[in-house]
A and B are shown apart, each in its own frame.
Chain A
Amino acid sequence: MNRSGHKGSMVGVDVGGTFTDIFVLDEATGKASVAKVPTTRPDQSGGFLNGIRSQVPDLADIVSVVHGTTAGTNALLERKGAKIGIITTQGFRDVLEMRRRDRPRTWGLRGNFEPVAPRDMRLEVPERTLADGTIHTQVDLDAVRKAGEALVAAGAKAVAVLFVNAYANAANEQAAVAALRELWPNEHVSCSSEILPEIREFERFSTTALNAYLQPEVAGYLDRLARALSEGGFAGEFMIVQSNGGVMSVDTACRLPVRTALSGPAAGVIAAGYIAQSAGFPNVITGDIGGTSFDVSLIADGQSMLSPQTSIDFGLVVRTPMIEIATIGAGGGSIAWVDKGGLLNIGPESAGSDPGPAAYGRGNDRPTVTDANIVLGRIDSERPIGGGLTRLDVEAARRAIATHVGEPLGLDVEKAAEAILTVANSRMAGAIRLVSIERGFDPKQFAYMPFGGGGALHACALIAEVGLARGIVPRYPGVTSAMGCVIADMRQDFIQTINAPTQSADEEALGRLMQAHVDEGMRLLAAAGVAFAGEEIVFELDMAYLGQTHTVAVPLPARIEAGKVAAPTRADIQTAFDAAYLRVYGRLLPGGVTRVLNLRSAVIGKRPKFDLSTLAPDADASMEAAKRGTRRVYFAGEWRETAIFERLKLPVGAAIPGPAILEQPDTTILIEPGVTGTVDRFGNVVLAAQKE
């Protein structure tokens, strides 16, 4: 603990459904510490403060608190956002409800959709802008005021102004917002050109409406946290992780809560990337096995992949840059079943964490992936991790597997359990191939990093099946997201639709837009009051050949001197396009006319990094101290006496040949036969196939 000097602690906090994870870095000593405390409900600030205080009793010693939050995601999934109103162009009130004319599932023609604002809360006003930005009909401000008053009277807590073609000219939207601000009872008035000035009305309207839907909820939540922190004596900066893996100030988060949709998972991926890079693996694929799903993300050359949009649920489209996370419905709680054709399937149905696996004895009697791990001795039934239960019911797990998988397939219980794991691993391997091979990355160049509680049980199998180079199990896989909060850079993203042929693009106008993005980004960085190790500015154009609808992200080299952007020439843009297109598709289209759809800018404040070796095992760690005896574990058709170790007590350099199991409070690492786990100087366990 540091009580003197200007340096203090940086604290990362990740609030999950069950636990609140805390990661504390003492800047003076370079020492890190971690804590897990129960999440408090309904007010999460209790657990939040308790967790921090368990590590730093005096909040005045903290310089910054960075929070990865699922408040926004949960509010969307559970439909617990605010009652909102929409004011939109005459003739377009149903855009949110009509979506892009899709359906929830390809087969079956079932399922429905309720937009976050019901039809009677979506009001139309006379106004119209054309695609080229011409105002066809001036906005009728009396109609806007009348609509605003009606929405207030109906109980709306936030209002979003959604006008067609506002990306091309924001004047009508801005006039409407100004009129509404005079009568709206709070600050939650927003418009689509301010949240996402990009062509495609459904995506822009949806993102803006979801932002409004989250504003009251998320702003209220963050405000409660900020108040509790300051009442506790905290006087530093409070920041929030965005879905793009960067952090933003709490003020920005209250204004743009939709950018927190993947806040927690994004922080985890950022930490994974940093840990892997420190350990010498700039290319890494992360895997997070949860109760119902498996989330995979790829980091190439230290850079996480970003995707431009995601659907939080059917029809709930959020278009802001996000860490790309591929999800499949195969997690620890996924149910194994044999279909009427005799084929073994895993999921998508899941027992989740409640009732959970059959071994939990809470009323589920169908086998899950976790039950298979329990039956084969991979999870210690006497010392379950994750809290709550004191022991697991192995017999219940065996019964479930025998009844639902073993008997239909004619396999004994162990073979059936192994079959469940093989099929589950194969589905997870499919998800890893999806983000790697299918995108042109060679898995042999990538390490695999499991995080979360269950991931390290499957790491060896996935490495072998996909042909990944190595596995790296971070020292504290259960608090990766909290660690990512402390590591993440500050980042502001901007977008503006240009929609012009490259040959006739207005270079000066483009330069002005780039400058505006840089100025606003730098202003936000400065306003956060945080020290940066440096700044980075990245420009990209979304471009395509005329006639193509899918664009290619074209990195745009730009010269910036003393904060002034030198605009690129058309020739610069064409050269950059050719290079990017060649990289993606292998050949150019001779004589093809190209088009610039959007400008994307990112202004990044680099935060100082800490030395991960401070997490390394203490000097008194030793093999002797770590040994915990043996237990029988089933591998490839036979029971084998398997060494058990206490992971956190293993010294640097320890090399453990499989079969072995390493246990720690929040995770279990399975080292399969033929694989050796080695503790590196940061305390990571590196898994590699033994040389023949």
Chain B
Amino acid sequence: MSDTEKKAIDPITLAVLAGRMEQIADEMDATLFRSAFNPIIAEAHDASHGLYHAQTGDTLVQGKSGLPIFVGVMAFAVKTVIEKAARDGDLADGDVYMFNDAHLGGTHLSDMRLVRPFFYDGELFCYLASVGHWHDVGGAVPGNYNPTATEVFQEAFVLPPVKVARAGVLQQDIVDIVLRNTRLPQSALGDFNGQMNALDLGVKRLDALLAEYGAQTIDAALTALGDRAETLLRAEVSALPDGRWEAVDYLDNDGISDKPLPIRVALEIKGDRLSIDFTGSAPTAAGPINISEGTAIACVYVAIKHIFPSLPANAGVMRPIDITIPKGSVLAAEFPSPTGGYTETILRMIDVIFSAASQAAPDRVVANAYGTINALSIAGHRADGRRWVMFSFYGGGHGGTPEGDGLNHGNAPISTATIPPAEILEAAYPVMFSQWALRPDSAGAGRHRGGMGAIYEIELLEESAEAFLFGERGRFPPKGVAGGANAALNRFSYEQDDGMHTPRLDSKIVGVKLKRGQRVRLETPGGGGYGPPSERDPQAVARDVRLGLVSAEKADADYGKAWRGAAA
């Protein structure tokens, strides 16, 4: 896109084009969701699509239905491609770059990125990109959540940006290499085709839109949308008081050595500018709790958009924000540090941003959500020798809000993923859920208490299997804000011949052997409370007790005895 001769665009055309371009990205999302083979994309919508700036890679437009954390992180993937294309000097219409390298494009190796330049009238106009979480990309642990990895090589195979299509011609060699490196080649091929189809569709729709409005108008609209997003955030920030607020929270451990990792933030508002500084956070870890700098920056965007939900999904939003990610920290890890558990770290970043921001604007910010993805996999072989892997993420409570109690059993703030039904899991794998329930006493007390976490108890129906868990919040509970109390800890336990056990690292464990009839039990945290518990309506406390969500003992401890006289 040329930066010269920018024409001012009239506000009406702009409003129309904003919707038209967002619809293109939405439609790319829908194309992949429908045709994907793996449930992580098809059901959990762990994918995203958008349009990116031809020179800077900045996000221009992103779909509404994609995974929140990808809104922002994709720009880093496109920047990587732009740099490579500049080095190689061979960018052509019809090229598609493909890679999963987390240190170049953000997030973790499970996320396969496809980036395609879009040419109009022979000129590079912008980039289109598609990212989706593949079911398996090799490595030591099926599903790629390996808590004991100390290098990316133990997590998955690493594909740097390569052209999987050259000027419209598919490079079958590359596809063959990729498919030879996954336990589930059919699933991978299905997802790859779905992503290619989504990019094709994006090109077709953009061609039509540019033919209708002309490249100059679209270009002007994209520039204006970025400018307006910037103005919008400046206006929001200006309405908050100037000042500096800090917060710190901890990750349990990195899965290798048993020591907590601080995530520290200082948030500063000066007029219409916002600075967010993570200096003082833990150094790069041995285990897979690291994230790349790109992921860290994208995560700030997610937190900001939760605080100001009307902000659009484009890079203009980030212009008034100064972000400091310290070099050598767990938030700016270099190749080949493992990044498989990146979800846990970015959830903690969001928590500390909320905790700091709630001091600045207590009426706008919600308490911490349950704060761990709880990637639990159980794997084994059936009587006939077939391998099975049940891999899923589990839910917990949302934080209390200025308006009311937190949502029970929600999805993680970085995701919009839904959980597969127990019946689908039982039909596909030799397990029986003996409990799938809300977890009483798991939420933080407050004027508005947190939402409840959950209890999932799973019994093995086959001869033997192994269980793996990658979780967090086993030692540091989700925090309340504005005087609200903390929620309960995450608890994992597993049955052996001599009874129930908990893992040494609390929230992470590899290869626990299970026999037929033995159970694993996951009790997830609720959300933190909002506002002082003493301000909670005694009738609401009495109702929680009547419904069995809060025990009488915990109610007494958190709220005093006033509820005992109140009508539930």
Interface residues of A (CB under 8 A from B): 91-95, 97-113, 118-120, 128, 130-131, 136, 164-165, 167, 199-203, 339-345, 409, 411, 418-419, 422-423, 426-427, 430, 433-434, 437-438, 499, 545, 547-550, 585, 587, 589, 592
Contacts and interface: CB of A to CB of B under 8 A. Distances in A.
Contacts of A108: 306, 309
Given A91-B436, A589-B186, A419 B310 contact: no
Pick the 4 closest A-B CB pairs, nearest first. A341-B232, A341-B228, A340-B235, A101-B395
Contact of B423 (A113, A165, A342, A418): A165
A64 to B, nearest CB: 41
Interface string B416-442: 111111111011000011111110000
Contacts of B418: 100-102
Given A118-B547, A341-B232, A342-B228, A113 B398 contact: no
A409 B416 contact: no
By size class, the interface of chain B is 35 or more
Given A109-B306, A200-B424, A548-B190, A426 B15 contact: yes
Interface string B14-51: 11101110010001001001111111001100000000
Interface of A is mostly: loop
B363 interface: no
B405 interface: yes
Given A98-B395, A201-B422, A589-B186, A109 B228 contact: no
B294 interface: no
A340 B232 contact: yes
Interface in B177-207: 184, 186-187, 189-190, 193
Nearest to A422: B12
Interface stretch (B101-109, B407-415, B556-564): B407-415
A357 B27 CA distance: 33
Given A94-B409, A100-B419, A118-B547, 14 more contacts: A91-B435, A92-B437, A97-B409, A99-B409, A101-B409, A101-B411, A102-B416, A106-B64, A109-B366, A109-B398, A109-B399, A120-B547, A200-B424, A341-B231
Contacts of B369: 109
Contacts of A342: 11, 228, 231
B546 interface: yes
B401 interface: yes
A249 to B, nearest CB: 32
B401 A130 contact: no
Contacts of B404: 112
B147 interface: no
Nearest to A97: B408
A370 to B, nearest CB: 19
B508 to A, nearest CB: 22
A98 B454 contact: yes
Q: In this complex, which of B33, B312, B401, B409 has the most chain A Cβ atoms within 10 angstroms of its Cβ?
A: B409
A128 B431 CA distance: 13
A526 B169 CA distance: 61
Contacts of B189: 589
Interface of B is mostly: mixed
A164 B34 CA distance: 27
Contacts of B510: none
B271 interface: no
A104 to B, nearest CB: 8
Given A343-B228, A430-B20, A438-B30, A101 B39 contact: no
B214 interface: no
Interface of B: 11-12, 14-16, 18-20, 23, 27, 30, 33-39, 42-43, 64, 68, 184, 186-187, 189-190, 193, 225, 228-232, 235-236, 305-306, 309-310, 312, 366, 369, 394-395, 398-399, 401, 403-411, 413, 416-424, 426-427, 432-438, 451, 454, 457, 461, 546-549
A547 B187 contact: yes
Contacts of A418: 12
Given A94-B438, A131-B427, A549-B39, A345 B15 contact: yes
Nearest to A91: B435
A375 B186 CA distance: 59
A93 B547 CA distance: 12
A106 B416 contact: yes
Q: In this complex, which of A92, A499, A547 has the most chain B Cβ atoms within 10 angstroms of its Cβ?
A: A547
Nearest to B230: A341
A109 B305 CA distance: 10
B471 to A, nearest CB: 16
Contacts of A201: 421-423
Contact of A113 (B190, B407, B421, B549): B407
Contact of B37 (A100, A109, A437, A545): A545
A200 B419 contact: no
A40 to B, nearest CB: 36
A585 B35 contact: yes
Contacts of A550: 33-36, 42
B568 to A, nearest CB: 9
A199 B410 contact: no
Nearest to B316: A341
A423 B15 contact: yes
Nearest to A120: B547
